[in-house]
Amino acid sequence: MAVQDKRFARPEWKQPPFDALARAFLSTQQWWEEACRGVRGVSKHHEDQVAFVARQWLDMVSPSNFVATNPEVLKQTLLTGGANLANGWINWVRDAAAVAGDAKPRGVEAFLPGKAVALTPGKVVMRNELAELIQYEPTTATVLREPVFIVPAWIMKFYILDLTPEDSLVKYLVDNGHTVFIVSWRNPRSGQAGLGMEDYVRHGVFESLDTIRSLYPESDVHAAGYCLGGTLLAISAALPECPHAIRTLTLFAAQTDFSEPGELGLFMDESQISFLEDLMTENGYLDGRRMAGAFQLINSKDLVWSKLVHEYLMGATTPMTALRAWNADATRMPARMHAEYLRHLYLRNDLAEGRYRCTSHEPVDLSRIGVPMFVVATENDHVSPWKSVYRIHRLVDSPIDFLLTSGGHNVGIVNPPAGPAAHTAASYRKAHHAARKAPAEPDEWFASAQYSHGSWWPAWTHWLRKHSSGEIATLPVQGVAVNGKEIPAPGSYVKES
């Protein structure tokens, strides 16, 4: 049996007795995975839950997690005379003190929005109690007629799409002749517990579109949404009261059919949602740290145990990066909105099955969208599994360019084509299909899609240009005045904790 797990990929694990330990562990892992399946009288949801818990326990007792059974740690201990373990103890004490004091991870202070990240110049052009709309300064003499309007998720902050200048999707679009608008969501407070999905549609998407229409009255928009923002944007685009003509719709790692939501679905049943509702009653929101904990559990092998080995056993220090600092900049979820999202979309799949009502008594009908779509999924996504994202083909009457890129939920999207931040191993598969003509099964699509090496960003900007109606002269950005002063990008809401 070949050892495929990257925990045991180093040459030290090929030597006895460590090769036997690794093989025994992987055999045990496989046995438990099979033992949790096909149990008479047990639903698939509960089988998945048991398998998930079993994997968590097994990941915890992996031989890679202990000094005596990890040959890499033993080798490092001999080479350093035990200094690695002393350094690991220092790292653990520092991290434990930070957790006890409710402090942010060390190093995040070097990546503050507007200081080291979210640096693309622009101004806030609309502001309400829920969101700011930022327009970015053009860098080209002419721009495509249709602006790009981006709706990010509010689970995390928007500047994942405007990190450093080297890996900023916003800057890339601006430099390629696009007028770019993006929503910056406000971190909700206790008094905003009653905010629901309808509020995010009306005061986030619709008010932003009204503002864009006032600035560019003769232009449609290229609308794009990321993760939950993409789900919200798809809902908004399908509503008859959508206030602005959407020329194209792009979704980044966004689900519209939640029948196979991946391992996040393990946390979704009526009892758990009711528990979360009770939990949110006191403060009016779900704390972002609880969301972060769920994401860590889903990929604990890489996000928890690999850190234990690297920092506490090997004694190394993981340098803070812009992406890691953004990931630590957690946000809250309003109680009503979060409960609606979990119950109606995740648990009941009301949106895909035609039962979801948002702003009216009529259910949202995604087949009303009708415009060309560009849908990006990521191959190793633990949040929005690509086969779940693929189900959009069944719901809309639109021609779709579906693209599957390497990487995960964040790294797969933040994928610049050149420069120091470019991913040398990046690749993607892409195929175009007319409405309702895509293969029914994702694996069938995968086998026939065209493979390309590199970033997917150029393919998307080429597609946007293809669906645009020409160029116009650039216009100066006119920011909205708050207390007599314009607010420069990245705005004020992104800086609120």
User: What are the tens digits of pLDDT across the range 241-274?
Assistant: 887 889 999 999 999 999 988 887 887 888 888 9
What does the CA dihedral 169, 222, 257, 37 come to, rounded to 10 degrees? Answer: -20
pLDDT at 136 over 50: yes
CA 123 to chain centroid: 25
CA–CA dist 301, 61 (Å, integer): 11
Quick one: pLDDT at residue 2?
47
CA–CA dist 38, 496 (Å, integer): 49
Quick one: pLDDT at residue 7?
93
pLDDT at 288 over 80: no
Q: Which of 360-369, 375-384, 453-462 has the lowest mean pLDDT?
A: 360-369
Quick one: pLDDT at residue 213?
95
Q: For residue 9, how many other CB atoms are within 10 A of its CB?
A: 12
The one catalytic residue among 36, 227, 242, 358: 227
Residue 347: DSSP 8-state = I
**Tens digit of pLDDT for each residue in 385-429?**
999 999 999 999 999 999 999 999 999 999 999 887 788 889 999
- Whether 358 sits among the annotated catalytic residues: the reply is no
pLDDT category, 295, cuts 50, 70, 90?
Answer: confident
**Tens digit of pLDDT for each residue in 439-473?**
999 999 999 999 999 999 999 999 999 999 999 99
Mean pLDDT computed over every residue of the chain:
93
293 compared with 359, residue with greater pLDDT: 359
Are the beta carbons of 167 and 416 closer than 8 angstroms?
A: yes
pLDDT at 3 over 70: no
Mean pLDDT of 344-350: 94
Which residues contact residue 275 at a Cβ distance below 8 angstroms, ignoring those fewer than 6 apart?
none
Q: Which of 238-242, 310-314, 325-329, 417-421 has the lowest mean pLDDT?
A: 417-421
Delimit the domains of the chain by residue range. Answer: 1-76, 122-266+332-477
pLDDT category, 212, cuts 50, 70, 90?
Answer: very high
Identify the bridge partners of residue 430 per DSSP, sorted by sequence position: 403, 450
CA–CA dist 36, 32 (Å, integer): 6
Q: Could you report how far apart the first and last alpha carbons of the chain are, in Å?
A: 50
**Tens digit of pLDDT for each residue in 182-208?**
999 999 988 899 999 999 999 999 999
SS3 track for 427-489: EEEEEEECCCCCCCCHHHHHHHCEEEECCCHHHHHHHHHHCCCCEEECCCCCCCEECCEECEC
Helix pair angle (44-60, 18-35), 10° resolution: 160
The model's pTM is 0.92
Identify the bridge partners of residue 135 per DSSP, sorted by sequence position: 123, 181
Report the DSSP pairing between strands 400-405 and 373-378. parallel
Quick one: pLDDT at residue 117?
97
Are the beta carbons of 258 and 351 closer than 8 angstroms?
A: yes
Quick one: pLDDT at residue 1?
44
Q: Does domain 122-266+332-477 have CATH number 3.40.30.10?
A: no
pLDDT at 290 over 80: no
